[in-house]
Amino acid sequence: MADLKEKIGQMLMVGLEGVELGTQEAAFLEEFRVGGVIFFSHNLENPEQIFLFCRALWECRQADLPPFIAIDQEGGRVHRLPEPFTHFPSAAAVGRARRAGLAYQVGLATPRELTAVGINLDFAPVLDVLSNPRNPVIGDRSFGSDPDQVATMGWRVVEGLRSGGVIPCGKHFPGHGDTSKDSHLELPVVNKTIDSVRAVELVPFAHACQSGIESLMTAHVLFPALDHARPATLSQTIMTGLLRRELNYDGVVFTDDLEMKAISARYGVGEAVVLAVEAGADVLLFCHDPAQASAAFETLLARAEKDASVRLRVEESCGRIESLKKRCL
């Protein structure tokens, strides 16, 4: 990758408005050298339209590297693709079957449909352990309340996605399963001891890290026992100390959407971006507002030009992104 702007662009993933790549959006992707796009239901109408949309994204890329084209295709209620695509069962239903082979088959069938239209990254599986039955955001998105079962079933889905040619992304590190609030709306707090977090939340993630999962997504959740001040996405203690060093993870780390209220209600976009990158995140998600992504780009560029430590972090992240894209796309 040629220059600093291009490297920072590779660290951005954005949502788009329509069902095709318009002139303004194409210009935006070009100006900011954006390295990835995430699709939601409003972008997707039918297989031919999705294929043409993905092809347009490939054709307008500004770097030598192909774009990440991502989706949240978990099954159950988090299902973006329209008919005639298969609506797979929820993780909870797969977990109740207690058949690891079934989890693999679901994981394998999903990318056969995604790759047919050009989608190459699935933000799945959910590796959160459902330890709070009042959880408003995870619920049946989890494979269950047993950490070992979640680890086993989740990993089989990872293997299926990988075998089918789609990059898997486990979420939401270090765990969103014991929350009673929705991080889309407010900041959840998990008041557990470090030992309890290790015994429950971290089990599926530790297994995935040790097994070489390609990517992970962060949780906008505060764990006071790990970091009393900052949510995991922005915590160097959690993202670098725990994930990178203790769990020895060197894959690509995506933030959850930085426009979610757990972050945006407490931090300006510039502050959040710098904290996330300093914490250890590689790709910054802005799912709805392109102005937020452009502000993130300008802030990170200015900081990287002045601060050698931030520039080093950009270099590290881009090395991971480039390695993953060249290996898998």
By C-alpha distance, which of 38, 36, 164, 157 is closest to 101? 157
Catalytic choice (184, 250, 288, 289): 184
Give the C-alpha distances (Å, rounded to integers) separating 125 from 121, 122, 153, 164, 169.
Answer: 11, 8, 9, 14, 7
Neighbours of 116 (CB within 10 A): 12
What six digits make up the tokens of 233? 């996405």
Is residue 173 within 8 Å of residue 162, measured between CB atoms?
no
Neighbours of 144 (CB within 10 A): 20
Helices (H) and strands (E) in the chain — how many of each? 13, 8
227 is catalytic: no
172 is catalytic: no
DSSP bridge pairs for 121: 70, 167
Order of strands, sheet of 12-15, starting from the edge strand that comes earlier in the sequence: 252-254, 215-218, 167-173, 121-122, 68-71, 36-39, 12-15, 284-286
Rounded CA gap, 321 and 180, in Å? 33
Please identify which residue in the block is written with the tokens 């239209």. Answer: 117
Is residue 110 within 8 Å of residue 104, measured between CB atoms?
no
What six digits make up the tokens of 275? 């904290």
DSSP-H helix ranges across the chain: 4-10, 23-31, 47-59, 91-97, 100-117, 147-163, 194-199, 202-211, 236, 261-264, 269-279, 290-306, 308-328
Rounded CA gap, 141 and 91, in Å? 5
Catalytic choice (122, 140, 178, 256): 256
- The residues annotated with a catalytic role in the active site are 184, 256
